[in-house]
Amino acid sequence: MPGAPARRTVGSSPVPRSRPTTSGKPRTTRTVGAVFAGATIAAASLAACNSDGRTLREAKPYQTQSVYTPTTTTVPATTLAPFDSKIGTLSTSTTVATTRVPFRLELPWSDGGTIDARFTCNGADVHPQIDWVGAPADAVEMALVVTDTDANDFVHWVIAGLDPNDPLVGEGDVPVGAIEGQNDFGTETAPAVGWRGPCPPAGSMHHYAFTLYALDQQVELPTGSPSADLLSVITSSSISVAEVTGVYTAPSDSSTTTTLG
């Protein structure tokens, strides 16, 4: 037609006009609005579920509390030992209190008790079993002295060279290596060595002291040495002493006539 604008073509087909592009802003606004509306509806539904307009009755005394009632539990404080990284466990430490056993002498009778007749001149005249406990750790040697305190410390037995780590001398035994001194029953011409038991006059009672010494050195005197020499070395090197006394009364019909001890 005359006056009509000419249509542009590419090849034989007309070029279609492009559609205007729609902006993303209106779409985003609609999406946010939809999400907000959905959240509002959900909140309203939740509120409707939690409350139906009725007022709850007060709980009876026998009714339990709601499971939603918060509770508080008190846990006693616990102190853990430091973590041991070497073994990967909690280490524990134990403190053991050490108690030192008192140094004491033990005899077949308690302190101040009666001495059995078999340990005297009226019996078998053997020395009793000797035990001790709690000897000092630095003791080198032990020595025992038996005297009659009612007869001016009349000597009945002096024995040294006892092993501190072997605290038992059997009845009537003399340990190997022990040193026995003279007792006071002998004389210069006929000395008596070793144990001689209590032997007081007939019908009389005497007290006997059994004194155990812990020494810090060895006694170098030989067996048969005078008791005075042994006692001098023993008392000068003593670091601890334990003592037990005993009492013996000679029978009234005893044939003993000595007044020594």
Per-residue pLDDT reduced to its tens digit, 103-121: 999 999 999 999 999 999 9
Question: Position 191: which residue type?
Answer: P
pLDDT at res. 8: 46
Look at the block and give the residue holding tokens 């010494």. 213
Question: Which residues are within 8 A (CB) of 134 and not within 5 positions of it... i.e. 6 or more apart?
Answer: 100, 101, 102, 103, 104
Fold held by 104-249: Phosphatidylethanolamine-binding Protein (3.90.280)
Give mean pLDDT, residues 22-47: 46
- Flag whether pLDDT at 209 surpasses 80: yes
Confidence of residue 256 (pLDDT cuts 50, 70, 90): low
Question: How much of the chain, in percent, has pLDDT values that exceed 70?
Answer: 60
Whole-angstrom distance, CA of residue 226 vs CA of residue 188? 10
Domains of the chain, residue spans: 104-249
- Flag whether pLDDT at 20 surpasses 50: no
Look at the block and give the residue holding tokens 């002295």. 145
Report yes or no: 144 and 213 within 8 Å, Cβ to Cβ.
yes
The 8-class DSSP code of residue 175 comes to -
